[in-house]
Amino acid sequence: MIAASGRDRVRSAELRLATANAAALAVLALALAGIGTLSAHGAHGADAARQARPASVSGGAGGFELHQDPLGARTCYFTGTHTAVPLEVALNDSITATITLRGSCPHDGRRLHVVFVIDASEQMVWRSRNWLPTLLADAESAVDQVPPDAWSWVQIGVVSFRDRVAETESHLTSDSEELVSALHDIAVSPGTECLDCGLREGLRKARRALQAGRGDEPPDRFREVIIVASRGFEATSCEAVRAATNEVEPFGILLVTACGGGECDRRCLAEAATSESFAFASGEWGYLGTVLSQLREESGPFNPIESVSIVDELSEMLLYASGGYPSAAVGNRLEWHFGPWPSDGITRTYTALAVGVGEFPLSTEISATVSYNADLGSGRVRHVTFDNPIVRVVPTTATASPTITATASATTPTATPSAGPTDTATPTPDRDAQTPSATPRPATPRPTWALHLPIAMRLGCAPSATKVDVALVIDVSGSMAVSDVERMASRWDAAASISEHVVLYHLAEPNDRVAVIPFAETATVRSGLGDGLASARRELGRLPRWNGSRLDLAVDLAASELLGEVQAGGGPRPGAHKVMVLFTDGDLNMTSDVDLLDAADRSRAAGIEMIAVVLGRDARADLDLVRRVTGSPARILESRDLSVIEITEALGRQLRCYR
């Protein structure tokens, strides 16, 4: 039950709330009469800003379009450019193309009301540790991080729930001291018989608190958010948890879930959130401040720009060579898919080989589709067009087209592509691809737009062309708790997010199989190759948190799984591409270099490709050791150089387009 001091504070808050509502109505009346004005964060400031903005603008050097939401609820701007350098090249030379997309949805002036719904049940105690004080300290830190000037348009409330019941600890307020005091009053209560009942009651109280916070103003003046913070729920309760949270949906309230403490089971909470993008989880608490900050700034997953797809189909006079980390590349058609929107926009640079002579547009198609929504609900779609540079390819005088035969010939010219290109002659579409070199021979006239490379070289690698067996080897040691990967609560979460998206978007049954192998002081197969992709995704959602770091044991175990030596693997598959992906921060404090390199050598000798994803801006990674483990620096992806999205797309592509 809530302490007596807590109840007195709630009653006092109710009186202040009534007084504040009356004062707000008085200010509103003055504003409407032209005597007073509201804060720039208020609704009137937002309306004035909307009226001042243009409906749309298009054209300009480099090519761009600015788009405004026609319903007037939100104005979002998108700017796209498409360039080529140089604009004139000789046949067989390369062109560097760059696509840039910038976008923003300026703050719409609505006030932000947030209610924390905190689990104070007995389940917050796990393995003799009470995680509730850690959660409450995290919530207190989040409150303390709110800038003083933001309290003019931000209000926060607190509700606690336990077995069957819930209590309002603090109504919506801008008084940080009151909120901290309310958090200090919460303590664990016994009983776990019907936690979903307590959650349901807590959500109802939170909803009533948000309704009271509006006073007589319309709901569209506010962004209303409920953050459910818990250590998770048993799988048998998931349906009841979803039913409880579904009651919030009709009211237009954004439901965010936060899971932490011990082996938090985030699955139920992830399904309960408005979207999985708004479901956060970590082995430790310590990230609620980031979540609240992103809510205020409408950044990260709360950015109204939800997803972006870019399509660029190059002219048939060009051949995509490398770079840009496309999500998909088949021949000259390149696609990129992003979600959520990167904070600094999108820039992709790639190279293309000139294989035909003439003057022509760089691309036959270049456009972007952006999905966004001011209310983080059902999205609206906008299309952004780009200028299309004209490039000019001139004949060379002393060289001819590359010869794609197994044996190079300097004396027998051929205008017809050879029927059997060798592996070494086929350019790979990944970042290590090399431009084919021309074979010297006597100068001869050429057709003005002949293809000088076999058509097979333009097909890239279709996703269904290869069977892939992947072992995701994930470091779950304590050093992975550090929060230094952009837009991720921890290195743990970055590893889980990258893995989940690779499984979801780059692998497909029945061709592909995935094993999930977390490691620290020991290693274990949580989901085997024969268990299916659904099992892999499930285990990625509830990775354990351990201490120590024995990567050598994990490498040996993963190799056994890939080679069919572990029963869960379902046996080896002839013709399957076997890949081991190592997620680590490089802090291998219990691993012998000799043991690790021996394990890696055995794996590579058995035909297993090894890729390392090094996470952490301040990671203590021995990159030379990692290179020796993978066998090539090209198989190392670092979060210091690439965003999580870029790592995901590059990894997905390496799984497909291996050489």
Q: Rounded to an integer, what distance in angstroms lies between the CA atom of residue 476 and that of residue 478?
A: 7
DSSP letter for each residue of 582-595? EEE-S--TT--HHH
Residue 100 makes CB contacts below 8 A (sequence gap 6+) with 80, 81, 82, 83, 345, 346, 347
pTM, entire model: 0.51
Task: Give dist(CA 324, CA 27) in Å, integer.
Answer: 54
| Same-domain status, 386 and 500 | no
State the pLDDT at residue 361. Answer: 96
Question: Is the same domain home to 89 and 113?
Answer: no
Burial of residue 278, with CB atoms counted within 10 A of its CB: 0-12 exposed, 13-18 middle, 19 or more buried: buried
Residue 39 belongs to a domain? no
Angstrom distance (rounded) from CA 142 to CA 382: 35
According to DSSP, the β-strands at 111-119 and 222-230 are: parallel
Whether residue 119 is found in the same domain as residue 178? yes
pLDDT at position 288 is 92
Q: Does 451 share its domain with 478?
A: no
Q: Rounded distance, CA 266 to CA 492, Å?
A: 14
> Distance between CA 320 and CA 334 in Å, rounded?
9
Who's near 108: CB < 8 A, 6+ residues apart? 46, 73, 74, 75, 374
- 511 part of a folded domain: yes
- Distance set, CA 99 to CA 85, 89, 161, 207, 639 (Å): 12, 19, 50, 44, 22
327, 394: one domain: yes
User: Is residue 127 a part of any domain in this protein?
Assistant: yes
Domains in the chain, number: 3
Based on the domain organization, do 217 and 181 belong to the same domain? yes
In a domain, 72, yes or no: yes
The pLDDT score that the predictor gives to residue 378 is 47
Q: How many CB atoms lie within 10 A of CB 571?
A: 11
* Same domain as 327, residue 290: no
CATH of residue 545's domain is 3.40.50.410
Domain closes at, from 395, 426, 458: 458
Domain-located, residue 346: yes
Length of the chain: 659
Q: What is the pLDDT of residue 501?
A: 87
CA 490: distance to chain centroid? 13
Is there a domain that residue 86 lies in? yes
**How high is the pLDDT of residue 446?**
31
Q: What does the alpha-carbon distance between residue 180 and residue 139 come to, in Å, rounded to a whole number?
A: 9
Domain around 207: 109-302
Q: What pairs with residue 367 in β-bridges?
A: 311, 385
Token digits for 287?
């990230």
Q: What CA–CA distances, in Å, run from 66 to 59, 299, 340, 363, 472?
A: 9, 20, 20, 22, 42
Residue with tokens 């090894």: 610
Q: Are residues 261 and 281 in the same domain?
A: yes
Residues near 416 by Cβ (< 8 Å), separated by ≥ 6?
Answer: none
Give the pLDDT of residue 363.
96
Contact 269, 244 (CB under 8 A): no
Cis peptide before 86 (omega within 30 of 0): yes
Final residue in a domain of this structure, among 302, 329, 348: 302
Asked if residue 441 belongs to a domain, the reply is: yes
Q: Computed from CA positions of residues 526, 529, 535, 537, in that sequence, does the dihedral angle turn out positive or negative? A: positive
The per-type count for the chain, helices as H runs and strands as E runs, is 14, 27
Query: Does 542 lie in the same domain as 631?
Result: yes
- Residues 256, 155: one domain? yes
Provide the b/e sequence for 432-469 (b: ≥16 CB within 10 Å): ebebbebbebeeeebeeeebbbbeebbebbebeebebb
Sheet containing 333-338: order of strands: 328-330, 333-338, 305-314, 363-372, 380-385
Phi-psi region of 286 (alpha: psi -120 to 50; beta: other; left: phi over 0): left
* Residue 587: predicted pLDDT: 77
Phi, psi of 203 (to 5 degrees): -65, -35
Report CA Rg, the chain: 29
406-426 in b/e form (b: 16+ CB < 10 A) is eeeeeeeeeeebeeebeeebb
Kindly list the averaged pLDDT for each block of 10 residues, start to end, along the chain of length 659.
Answer: 41 43 40 32 32 31 37 66 95 94 80 96 87 94 94 96 94 96 94 88 96 92 94 80 88 90 71 82 82 86 82 94 80 82 82 93 94 58 89 76 38 38 39 40 34 32 65 90 82 90 81 91 88 88 82 92 66 81 85 90 92 82 85 87 86 72
Paired residues of 279 in beta bridges: 257
Query: Last residue of some domain: 241, 270, 302?
Result: 302
pLDDT reported for residue 265: 67
* Shared-domain flag, residues 74 and 93: yes
Is residue 189 included in any domain, yes or no? yes
Spatial separation of the C-alpha atoms in residues 215 and 26, rounded to whole Å: 12
330 and 429 belong to one structural domain = yes
